[in-house]
Amino acid sequence: MENNIRIEAREFNAYYDKKCALKDINFKIFSNKITAIIGPSGCGKSTFLRSLNRMNDLIENFNVKGELLIDNENIYDKDVDVIFLRKRVGMVFQKPNPFPKSIFGNIAYGLRIHKMFKNYDDLYMKVENSLKEAALWDEVKDDLNKSAFDLSGGQQQRLCIARAIVINPEIILMDEPTSSLDPTSTAKIEELIRKLKEHYTIVIVTHNMQQAARVSDYSAFFMQGELIEYDETTKIFTAPSNKLTEEYITGRFG
């Protein structure tokens, strides 16, 4: 199958005040693939991820240079509707962050604010489908009105994934989605990520090297704000081309 480019960075630079956090990034991310971004702390991987739905706009003095295209449109163009962009580019965070609402209310929230349902039956069906897609439905179908906080950490994270996908995003960004979860919950989330790529393009930042090796199709290694190496994950983890990549993934530094 031919790879379609979904996201493309062209000479993309990002600055916090005058400090350069991303330097001349040229990077193509493919549709319906899982792309892992790895690298030591402070390498720019989270900055890059957060640039993809303009989460960094909320930070004072954050600015960019160059282009960041999604489906060939620069998301930093002046006329871009950021709310709409974030609907297209969903995000799942390190720590599960359910809203202080019921399980149902969490999922329905996005549908309500975007007015994405016809009637209650339609709303219920969409909630049900997204919980099924996030492999959580069987565990919560009888407790939809319970508080989301009553769920376990792993269930809360799957709830957050369900909440992200219910509004039909095209891209899902994941920022260390399993770092606060136990191995069983981690395995479930990873299985879910693999299934989700059928419908979504997934970009995941992870500190867990084995996780990147297990779930991703492509891996990108960032260091000091630069994209050092980007290739198929198998290549990166068996025979990386760059010495720095090799030193990082074999734990020789970092």
**Contacts with other proteins, residue ranges (CB under 8 A):** 209-210, 213, 237-240, 245-246, 249-253
Give least dist CB 36 to other proteins, A. 13
Nearer to other proteins (CB atom), residue 100 or residue 251: 251
Give least dist CB 178 to other proteins, A. 16
Cα-Cα-Cα-Cα torsion 133, 138, 139, 145, nearest 10 degrees, comes to 90
Nearer to other proteins (CB atom), residue 91 or residue 236: 236
Give least dist CB 240 to other proteins, A. 5
Nearer to other proteins (CB atom), residue 61 or residue 210: 210
Angle at 170 between CA 131 and CA 133, to 5 degrees: 15
CB proximity list for 67: less than 8 A, separation 6 or greater: 8, 9, 10, 11, 12, 74, 76
Q: Which of 207, 88, 99 is nearest to 156 (CA)?
A: 99
Position of tokens 């960032």? Answer: 222
Give least dist CB 46 to other proteins, A. 22
Nearer to other proteins (CB atom), residue 177 or residue 240: 240
Nearer to other proteins (CB atom), residue 225 or residue 240: 240
Give least dist CB 39 to other proteins, A. 14
One DSSP character per residue, 69-89 reads EETTEETTSTT--HHHHHHHE
Give dist(CA 148, CA 169) in Å, integer: 22
One-letter amino acid for residue 56 of the chain: N
CB atoms within 10 A of CB 239: 9
Nearer to other proteins (CB atom), residue 107 or residue 212: 212
Give least dist CB 184 to other proteins, A. 18
